[in-house]
Amino acid sequence: MGRPHLLAVPYPAQGHVMPLMELAHNLVDHGFKITFVNTEFSHKRIMAALSNNGYDEDFIHLVSIPDGMEERDDRNDLGKLCDAMVNIMQGHLVNLIKKINGSNNVDDKITCVIADKNLGWVLEVAQRMSIRKAAVWPASAGFAAVALHIPKLIEDGIVGEDGSLLKNQMIHLSPTMPAMNTSHLVWLCMGNRGLQETIFKVMISNTRAVKLADYIICNSFYELEPSAFTLIPNFKPIGPLFASSRLAHFWPEDSTCLSWLDQQQAKSVIYVAFGSFTVLDTRQFEELALGLELCGHAFLWVVRPDFTCEGTDVYPEGFEARVCSRGRMVGWAPQRQVLAHPSIACFLSHCGWNSIMEGLSVGVPFLCWPYFADQLLNKSYICDVWKNGLGFDSDENGLISREEIKAKVVGLLGNEEIKGNALNLKEIALKNVSDGGASSRNFEDFVQWIKYEG
């Protein structure tokens, strides 16, 4: 008998494709073969980022289907993207599965569909086609617990049926989870009211659909969020996942920064990266640049081509020349390798969940600069629960000033307790994924379930 065939479908965003691809590699190591379904838009970007190198992974087959939007449409219009996926991409997925399962080769038939939890409709497709299905939650268990708590928030009159905020108050889902201000609920910090309503609706329908999943796994580990896992015991943590695949990057990695890091002193460099979505306005971008300059430390700063609304050429006058001996800017970094480099002192991060898991598993302390969505909750975990980092405070104009940046860098690098906490978390993280660790056992159980049950 050949390798069991799995179909993996990520939500089409960098922070979702990456962990699912990592999972795909782990499953290949356990004897599976994977058809990995990107949208055509994501697929083109990944292929372009790979450039001439191509790929020679035997058991991961990259395929693509249309997301239902026009080429020129803005994929950051989440409402439009979600509608297009449900109305159009869904049909393409059904056809793809029919084509694969219609082949004469019995070994080729899909054993299980593995879908991002944010694509509830994929679980519904698998249900209708009588294929087993697993959901992957690429964020914290705490965030999942909040999402599953929505009906109670409505019942308690805290949010309306349309997701509008009725009561601005603190909520505390359980003792070791950070308290949350209801105005920070994920959909309420995303764009205008129309977009908030759309995201709220999508979250509700995904939360309903996830009940169809035969298995739910997530990129976390028990000790990190014990009480969140008590609230959602059917979510099985298998993390941290180590993002090292070349097959998932939306931008070409600039690996030259690794040799630059080789030339820096141990634990001397501030790594600055805001993930794949965050956009700063010109004023804040300039202030960040001047803050990095003011610190006097070496820094490696990821400035994506779309990091500011105005394009990348907005550095303060003379900045690049002044910092050239100790600062390096790249369009996209091999983040996993960067974080593991001995010269890294700390990670100034937007607190995306993947970035947190990656930084945490190499023991770097964090400087937190959350922007939206679950990043605010993630920041609270770091600053208030795990205590492996510090957050920035904005001034009365909503700006994080250069002085604040310098003060927090100095505060973090001089704080042995925070650095110690970061190193302890690394040990716990690594223990989880080593042989016999809880995440590793959960992953083995998942593999056994796909192979032998159902």
Binding site for ligand UDP (CB under 6 A): 14-15, 18, 243, 249, 273, 275-277, 302, 332-333, 335-336, 352-355, 358
User: What minimum distance in Å lies between the beta carbon of 19 and ligand UDP?
Assistant: 7
8 Å CB contact between 125 and 94: yes
Listed residue (170, 371, 16) closest to 379, CA to CA: 371
CB of 355 vs ligand UDP, minimal distance in Å:
3
Question: What is the CA 360 to chain-centroid distance, rounded?
Answer: 14
Q: For residues 306 and 444, which CB has a smaller minimum distance to ligand UDP in the complex? A: 306
Measured from the CB atom, the residue of 15 and 163 that comes closer to ligand UDP is: 15
Shorter beta-carbon distance to ligand UDP: residue 361 or 421: 361
For ligand UDP, give the closer residue by CB, 355 or 388. Answer: 355
For residues 1 and 247, what is the distance between their CA atoms, to the nearest angstrom? 27
Which is closer to ligand UDP, CB of 243 or CB of 345?
243
Cβ distance to ligand UDP smaller for residue 40 or 254? 254
CB contact burial 216-233 (16+ within 10 A = b; e otherwise): bbbbbbbbbbeebbebbe
H or E segment to which residue 134 belongs: strand 132-137
Answer yes or no: are the C-beta atoms of 321 and 350 closer than 8 Å.
Answer: no
Comparison of 198 and 335: residue with beta carbon closer to ligand UDP: 335
Report the distance separating Cα 7 and Cα 20, nearest Å. 11
Sign for the CA dihedral angle at 90, 95, 100, 101 comes to: positive
Q: How far is the CB of 78 from ligand UDP (least distance, A)?
A: 13
Nearer to ligand UDP, 231 or 338 (CB): 338
Tell me the three-class secondary structure of 1-30, residue by residue. Answer: CCCCEEEEECCCCHHHHHHHHHHHHHHHHC
Select from 122, 134, 105 the least CA-distant residue to 24. 134
Q: State the minimum distance, in angstroms, from the CB of residue 16 to ligand UDP.
A: 7
Nearer to ligand UDP, 131 or 273 (CB): 273
Nearest distance from C-beta of residue 156 to ligand UDP, angstroms = 30
Sheet containing 132-137, strands listed edge to edge, beginning at the edge strand earlier in sequence: 60-65, 33-39, 5-9, 110-116, 132-137, 215-218, 235-237
Helix (H, G, I), strand (E, B), or coil: what is residue 453? coil
Distance of closest approach, residue 161 Cβ to ligand UDP, in angstroms = 29
Q: How far is the CB of 111 from ligand UDP (least distance, A)?
A: 27
* CA distances from residue 1 to 5, 109, 112 in whole angstroms, order as listed: 11, 12, 16
Q: What span, in angstroms and rounded, lies between the C-alpha atoms of 71 and 243?
A: 29
The whole-angstrom separation of Cα 392 and Cα 284 is 13
Q: Residue 56 Cβ, how far from ligand UDP at the closest point, in Å?
A: 21
* Shortest CB 335 distance to ligand UDP, Å: 3
